[in-house]
Chain A
Amino acid sequence: GQQLNQSPQSMFIQEGEDVSMNCTSSSIFNTWLWYKQEPGEGPVLLIALYKAGELTSNGRLTAQFGITRKDSFLNISASIPSDVGIYFCAVAGFGNEKLTFGTGTRLTIIP
């Protein structure tokens, strides 16, 4: 089946630092999504991307849909303690509703 390669697997950063993570696929997709899962909660959508090359921001978060339609990245600027969690990229298939998720990037903020 389809597979998304997400990196890094985990990040340990200090508060105030910027964060960058990315996701690649061997297949082309029309929609890239970024989700965040906080401890004890389910995933919540952060950003949805629909067009190759598109750059979208949501507060301190910025995500881009790669021009080849095979990758996406997510940046978080000036991290704060509540950014802690697991970030997942996801793609939607053609003509179906099921999502394929990446393996996640666990973000930990060191005090």
Chain B
Amino acid sequence: EAGVTQFPSHSVIEKGQTVTLRCDPISGHDNLYWYRRVMGKEIKFLLHFVKESKQDESGMPNNRFLAERTGGTYSTLKVQPAELEDSGVYFCASSQGIWAFHTGELFFGEGSRLTVL
């Protein structure tokens, strides 16, 4: 069974440009999370989807970030316009049950590394 897949694995863009990151969760997983790690810092929660609905978007940094999950399958995270401080690794995770992290059933993708020059 395929795990959580993210695309692209690495993106290098200039300040002011737009980037769209994509996450394909494990099939059947209703819960989808986006996290971000800025270099050397903690992994920070961005938002949580349950199917196509945003359950919690309290971690989104500002309105330059837009996350969607049309149809409740894959999700995209768009950054427009990108700023230098947006550089980091963006992780997507998915689970079937909402307390899945207790049992290790919360699965992370490999991450999309974003470099803004």
B56 touches A101 (CB 8 A): no
Contacts A97-B99, A98-B33 given; does A42 touch B42 at CB 8 Å: no
- Residue A29 is within 8 A (CB to CB) of chain B in the complex: no
Query: Complex Cα distance A9/B41, Å?
Result: 10
- Residue A48 is within 8 A (CB to CB) of chain B in the complex: yes
| Size of the chain B interface, CB-CB below 8 angstroms | 29
Q: Which residues of B contact A (CB under 8 A)?
A: 4, 31, 33, 35, 40-45, 48, 56, 58-59, 91, 93, 98-104, 106-111
Interface residues of A in 60-109 (CB under 8 A from B): 88, 90, 92, 96-104
Query: Complex Cα distance A92/B103, Å?
Result: 13
Q: Which residues of A contact B (CB under 8 A)?
A: 3-4, 6, 9, 31, 33, 40-45, 48, 50, 88, 90, 92, 96-104
Known: A44-B104, A90-B101. 17 other contacts (CB 8 A): A6-B42, A40-B110, A42-B93, A42-B108, A42-B111, A48-B101, A50-B102, A88-B43, A97-B31, A97-B48, A97-B56, A97-B99, A98-B33, A98-B58, A99-B35, A99-B45, A101-B44
